[in-house]
A and B are shown apart, each in its own frame.
Chain A
């Protein structure tokens, strides 16, 4: 490499890399429902933290499920962070395998705040109904 090429490389490679990571994060936020807080896009504090998302499984306690299957903890963590179709299906399959139920329903709810009405409610972001035969 010539000296001029070296200077261009050292000057622009790191900023370009940083921009690429941000663009990837923004695309994943848009297409995969990733929380803006993560992924290296510097979107923290621009929306309510994914920690406040709520996984609802009728007639089952999420805490007790996590205790039984450690893989589920990881999967449900990803579901809160990135509640897209693939993640919810993966979690539902793991829950079905763990509980040996005939069918399972998994829902992901997000908090919605309205400062005009001074209210807090929850909206359904994603849900899945999975039967044992679908596995």
Chain B
């Protein structure tokens, strides 16, 4: 009972918990990218550590968040077209934390994170709506028939896995031929009625993302909003282990959520994704 009380108290003060999780995520992500632009990062880290150890808590500025922001900016400037999309979102959330160090307003931080999530979801919906490849189901058809998404599902259907491997092999063989010969291969469906499934799944993806964006805009604290967001996060993780982006979305969801049980779900998803990133499982 005492443990449950402790958990409840910790989750009720979820701002601190979110800040710690975000700091952990940023730290892991920075370590993952540590090999690039070493000299610049070394200078930033050295200066950051020196200031932090000399001044510590007496500093007027959020030193640790500023150091993280600068490290993220270095990667952004050096590899603008190569960094993942969650690099941009992380940078904006970290910038929100830097600003929070100055305004100290929970309301502004909440609005910043809420707006960022809505913008990300809307942009994703727009890209999908304007992609014929996506709305026709051809994108999912290509990915599912090769076994690059829904990998966990294939463990329960070994025959389908065999077909997916055979499709992947055919594509590889096609890529070894001169494309000017205009070769074509026939893909074998890994599941019956795959074309219909992929069209339905494509539109379901768009609808869920749009619903999550609208719900976050109109009722960001509602239980149903967070149920939709959690369903979307779990759905994406089941489709493909996008551990980097999903841990960040879970951390943002945790910050916006007021329901104890849903906060626990966000926390579990975030920690599961973070541990998978550390053990190099999934995409980060």
Residues of A within 8 A of B (CB): 6-7, 10-11, 13-15, 17-19, 21-22, 26, 34, 36-48, 54, 56, 58, 78, 81-82, 107, 109, 111, 113-116, 118-122, 124
Contact = CB atoms under 8 A, between A and B. Distances in A.
Contact of B92 (A18, A111, A121): A18
Contact of A22 (B108, B123, B137): B123
B119 A119 contact: no
A58 B187 CA distance: 27
29 contacts: A7-B103, A10-B99, A10-B108, A11-B111, A14-B112, A14-B115, A18-B120, A38-B81, A40-B88, A42-B85, A42-B120, A43-B123, A43-B124, A45-B128, A46-B127, A46-B131, A78-B81, A111-B171, A113-B141, A113-B187, A115-B136, A115-B195, A118-B186, A118-B187, A118-B188, A118-B189, A118-B195, A119-B184, A121-B185
Interface string B172-197: 00110011101111111100001100
A42 B112 contact: no
A35 to B, nearest CB: 9
Contacts of A44: 85, 124
Interface in B81-132: 81-83, 85, 87-88, 92, 95-96, 99, 102-103, 105, 108, 111-112, 115-116, 119-120, 123-124, 126-128, 131
Interface string B230-274: 000000000010000000000000000000000000000000000
B179 A122 contact: yes
Contact of A113 (B81, B142, B183): B142
A34 B142 CA distance: 20
A108 to B, nearest CB: 10
A101 to B, nearest CB: 18
B139 interface: yes
Chain B contact patch, size range: 35 or more
The dominant DSSP class at the A interface is: mixed
A18 B83 CA distance: 15
Nearest to B138: A113
Contacts of B142: 48, 111, 113, 120
Contacts of A56: 178-180
B80 interface: yes
Nearest to A107: B179
Interface in B136-161: 136-139, 141-143
B65 interface: no
Nearest to B108: A10
B250 to A, nearest CB: 17
B81 A81 contact: yes
Contacts of B184: 119-121
B81 A14 contact: no
Given A14-B116, A21-B88, A115 B138 contact: yes
B198 interface: yes
B134 interface: yes
Nearest to A9: B99
